[in-house]
Amino acid sequence: MVAAVVLAGVFVFPINAHAGRSCEAVKPTPALIMKGMQLAERTSTALDASGARVVVLARAGQNLEKYGLQYSHLGLAYKTDAGPWRVVHKLNHCGTAVAAVYRQGLGEFFLDDLWRYEAAWVVPTPAVQAQLLTALQAPPAAVLRLHSAPYNLVSYAWGQKYQQSNQWAIETLAGAMEPDTIRTRGQAQAWLQFKGYEPGTLKLGALTRLGGRISAANVAFDDHPNEKRFSDRIETVTVDSVFAWLPRAGLGAAPVRLKI
């Protein structure tokens, strides 16, 4: 069962990439591999039992507790007709300011060096699941319709200069819900605002912002409005804000958590 879960992944773009976790090189140990596979197996079993075909899935790849956040990275997971679950998500090319979209199995999704071996997901309403399933099973060009390669870990939620991983996920959700009218990221963001999405707000002082920009190519603050940036309010798309929004907007159920 574990092997089937792990081998289900197919890369859309074969690159060295990560999101929602540290980019430090960590040699995988047998123990870490087994924990990641065990989490993937238990998640697959729980998702099957839920009866869902699509979920918004999260992992805890980094310790973000000092920002009041539980999870670091979102993916859109769907159950294939053949049985295994696949996760479509955006990953940063480590050490660079660009990213690409992957289609992976649960094994790959949880096989990174996680901060906490815990999965969390929201089951969307049947109507949202139906729209997302069609969108996620579409050819790559359609899946990438709202993808923008320039990456910024803390990109402004309502900006379009960069696009971080969680931002791509909810903009893609918006595009799936209105495929005939949403053609651009701006239109997707307008839909999200109409549906009441509120981004997470990180309190980052000037020294923290300066250090991040100097030390990492994938961190920038120049897309944030000056009045917010200079008052230390960085508004970005966080997993926690998405999980709070989906039930509030009537788009999904309360989050479910699974920890090993």
Residues 6+ apart with CB under 8 A from 90: 19, 99, 100, 101, 102, 147, 163, 164, 165, 168, 169
Q: Residue 234: in which H helix or E strand, if any?
A: strand 233-236
Q: Residue 250: left (phi > 0), alpha (psi -120 to 50), or beta? A: left
How do the domains of the chain map onto residue ranges?
A: 2-259
Sign, CA dihedral 78-19-253-199, equals: negative
pTM exceeds 0.75, yes or no:
yes
Integer Cα distance of 202 and 124 in angstroms: 26
Which of 47, 75, 48, 71 shows the shortest CA–CA distance to 60? 71
Q: Mean pLDDT per segment of 10 residues, for the chain of length 260 residues? A: 41 40 63 94 98 98 91 97 97 88 96 90 98 97 97 96 98 98 98 98 58 59 88 92 98 97
Alpha-carbon radius of gyration of the chain: 17
The reported pLDDT for the residue numbered 23 is 58
CA distance 48 to 151: 33
Closest CA to 12 of 121, 99, 114, 112: 99
Query: 163 by DSSP, 3-state: which?
Result: coil
